[in-house]
Each structure stands twice: as C-alpha cells, then as structure tokens.
Structure 1
C-alpha cells in the first residue's frame, strides 16, 4: 500500500472546536499530513493564534457558534472561496454543563444539545450539501465526515445526561447520513473517545475521580490529544475509502466488546 493513502495532501478539512484540545491537535496533524484547515471555534483569539502559529496560508480561522445554521453555511462558502473545495469535516466542538438529572436546568440541557447535536447537524448539512453538489456536477471524489462522539453516548454517564444524550444522538446522525450519502461517495463515520487530556476532562482526571476511571481502562492511562487525532485522520484519508457508517472507539479498551 502506498503511504500516500494515509496522507491528506490537497485536502481541505473543516474542524470545529479547533482552538484547543483535540481540535487543535487534529488541525496540526492535518497540516503535517499535507492538508489545509478551516479552523472554527467560538474562541476567536484561539483560532487566530493557531493560524498565526501555523504560518503560511494553509489555515483559515473563522469564529462563531456551531449552533448557528447560517454561520455553518458561511463557513463552507468562505472555505470554498479560500481553498477551492471542502474535502472533509470533523464535528468536534463541545461543551459540558454537568448536573445530576433532578437538578439539571433546561438551559443546561439545551446548551449542550445546541453545540453537540444541533451544531453537528448544522455543519454536517452545510458540508454535505457542498459535497453532494460537487458529485452531481461530475466530481466523484466524494468526501469524508467524522463526527466526534463519546463513551458517554454508548454507556451512559453520571451527572451529564445532556452530554450522554447528545453524544448518542451523534451516532444516529452518522448512520443516517452514511446511508443517504454513500451513493455520492461521501463517507460518514464516528470516533468515540474515552478520557482525553484536555481542559474539558479536568474534573474526571482530578484526584477525586481519577482512580475510579483509570481502573476501568485496560491501557491504564489517559489519552493524549494527538494520539486520538490519528484515527480521525485515518478516516479522513483514502486508507478508509471503504469505511462508512462505523463507530470507532479510541478509549484504551474502556468499551471492549460493546
């Protein structure tokens, strides 16, 4: 197998939640593999810093809310204008608003749903429309969309029913889009993470909870943001050209057999 199939040369990838953590690590890896990045985040300073540090003209930094459908459409338009086409999307943006079920407010519920589920739909739809239009116009190269889920969406979680429900919904988005768009050679897959060393998981990794979680992970450690970015890039690349509608767990064995 040629090593080129594992590269992203000439591919333009939209990454949401690109200012820090997994999104930032993913953006850096896409650049290393030869691609360009349309970096999206609410944190304007963060994505601008990423673009500045990357140097050159291979990063387009755009700030806004993924929950805004019009913003998603605008991102695709600006990305196409800058790089010619969108070849991949990673729906990575996320927030947490933890609370036990009986204490959770409707606002906490809705905020998480807006970002994780509605936000993923907005960008899936906007990028998908572009990819389908290219296909109908004769370009059969298709595209790859990767939605980021979580073990919380497969096993449940305590204190974050909003997050668990949203991440379960992301699995449904993946399967439906994969079935609808396969004939256009647009592949749609999910990567689900366990506990990754990012600002979002600081509470879980704290002294109070760390041992409880680590005992359930056969590899016995947290994931590094860069190492979980690699399976995402695999799904974006031609190495996964016959993979669609699948859920890949990168969690150190936390969900073996499930």
Structure 2
C-alpha cells in the first residue's frame, strides 16, 4: 500500500490568505512543494509578485487586497477558477495586531483586529463553502478542506491583546459550526493554533524583555520555525486527514499541554 500519496497535495487548489510574508508565505511554498496550486491573497502586492516569481505563475495565482473586502474574497475564488479550474481548500491565515491594555484600547483597534481575523476568515470560509456546495449539487464529488489559523491567545488568553485573543477564540467556534454544517458535503473544517513562531508579528514576545518568561513555559524550550509549523496544516489539507474535522490542533511546543 502506497501511503505517501495520501500526504501529497497534488491536484489540490488552495487559497492562502496573508501569503505575503511569514507563515502564510511558508505555507504557499510548502503547498506548491507538495504538488498543490495556490491562490495567494495579501494586502502587499509587491510581496505577492515576489512569491509568484519564486513559485511560477502556473502554480501560483495572486490577489492583492484586504480579506475584509467582499470583492477581494470573490476575486480569490474567481482567480482559482480561472487559473486552476476551481478551488478545493483554504487556509485562513491573514492577521494583524493592535496592542494595548484593555483600559487603554480604542474601539478602532478592537474593530480592526476582529475584522481581519474573524470577519475576514468568515468571508473566505463562506465563499469557499458556497463554491464547493454548488459543485456538489451539480453532481461533482469534492474533498474540501478548510484550515482556520488560531492561536494560544484564543485558548489561554493574553496580556495587551484582548482584541486578538477574542478573535482567535471566535475562530474556534467558527470551525466547529462550519464542520457540523458542512460534513454532509465532505467539507472538512479544522483549526491549527500556533504558539510563538519566529515571524515579525512575534518580535516583541521574543525580545530580551519577555524571552525567558515565555520559553520557560514551552516544554520543547524553543520558538517554532515557519517551515515546521506549516507541516501540520498541510496534513489537514491532504487526504491523509480525510476523517478529521471539527478539531483544534495546537502547534506550540507543548505550551498548552492539558488544555
């Protein structure tokens, strides 16, 4: 029995949001490396151009814009149809931070973070679900997979980022609801929650001021690297995870053992 083929992403057409840098970029590179095709979405058009130059236009389509813009969401679906004949999967990865203590946080910072992490994820999830369900109703057999990116902040809370922690907790609820509704269409929906990964968004936590405090709580004793944390996401996108839905996978070096 050839089990390796189940871990391949050959034939999988995947939207990745926030693909211009960090984890999103590493995700796009990994998916293409495993045989898949990617529609990369990011607000940074030049970063997308660079990524397309690296991976090739035959493997990567790009859409520049905000995940909170419904027109951009539809453009991503349309780009996948035009370039690859359809879309099968989604990684809801786009994110921002607007840091402030609860009593100092303004409403704009609250709304911006919830809009990107929660509303943006919902819009893309909804759009791909509609695309896949329409294909099922037309008689096609689909194997859809959606992976929503959450965070330890959504499970344990965080200081100075109530907007981010709230949004990431909401992503967990979104995953479970969609998984229940769409299982009958063979659309799987799961969450991957990251710990501290070496990206620009975690520079403050990894600074000398906070480094030792956080590392002491991570059993593996180190930060995650982008290339290694995207592998579990690729697993959930693959046929190897065909019987996995509505689950939350923590990729954090053991930070949330027991939760």
Q: Normalising by structure 2, what TM-score?
A: 0.98
Aligned to 2:158: 157
Q: Flag the 1:56–1:119 CA change in 2: closer, same or farther, 3 A.
A: closer
Contact 2:38/2:60 (8 A) holds in 1:
yes
* 1:184 to 2:181 alignment: no
Structure 2 counterpart of 1:45: 46
Q: Where does residue 62 of structure 1 map in the other structure?
A: 63
Distance, in Å, in 2 between the alignment partners of 1:212 and 1:125 is 39
Deviation at 1:141, TM superposition (A): 2.1
Residue aligning to 1:172 = 173
Aligned partners of 2:63 and 2:72 also within 8 Å: no
Distance 1:38 1:55 in 2: 12
**In structure 2, C-alpha distance between the alignment counterparts of 1:138 and 1:108, rounded to whole Å:** 45
Deviation at 1:168, TM superposition (A): 0.3
| Residues 102-141 of structure 1, C-alpha deviations (whole Å, 9 max, x = no match) | 0000000000001000000010011110011111111122
Name 2:144's counterpart in structure 1: 143
Which ranges of 4 or more aligned residues in structure 1 deviate by more than 2 Å?
none
- Aligned positions of 1:72-91 closer than 5 A: 72-91=73-92
Once the two structures are TM-superposed, the CA of residue 45 in structure 1 deviates from its matched residue by 0.5
Report if the CA contact (8 A) 2:149-2:192 is conserved.
yes
Alignment partner, residue 28 of structure 1: 29
Question: Do the aligned partners of 1:40 and 1:62 also contact (CA within 8 Å) in 2?
Answer: yes
| CA RMSD in angstroms, aligned pairs only | 0.8
After superposition, residues 216-231 of structure 1 pair within 5 angstroms as 216-231=217-232
Gaps in structure 1 of 5+ consecutive residues: none
Residue aligned with 1:74, SS: helix
Q: Single out whichever of 116-125 and 55-64 deviates more from structure 2.
A: 55-64
Equivalent-residue separation in structure 1 for 2:184 and 2:55 (angstroms): 36
Gaps of 5+ in 2: none
Aligned to 2:244: 243
CA distance, structure 1, for counterparts of residue 102 and residue 193 of structure 2: 23
Report the counterpart of residue 213 of structure 2 in structure 1. Answer: 212
Task: Provide, for residues 195-250 of structure 1, a one-character-per-residue CA deviation record: whole Å limited to 9, x for no partner.
Answer: 00000000000000010000000000000001010000000000000000000000
Structure 2 counterpart SS, 1:147: strand
Q: Which residue is equivalent to 1:15?
A: 16
Write the distance in 1 (CA, Å) between the matches of 2:57 and 2:176: 37
Contact 1:135/1:142 (<8 A) preserved = no
Q: Counterpart of 1:195?
A: 196
Whether the aligned pair in 2 keeps the contact of 1:14 and 1:89 (CA below 8 Å) is yes
Structure 1 length-normalised TM: 0.99
1: CA distance, partners of 2:140 / 2:185: 9
- Asked if the contact 2:63–2:75 (Cα under 8 Å) also holds between the matched residues in 1, the reply is no
Cα distance in 2, alignment partners of residues 109 and 154 from structure 1: 18
Aligned residues: 258
Per-residue deviation, 1:70: 2.2
Retained in 2: the 8 A contact 1:174–1:189?
Answer: yes
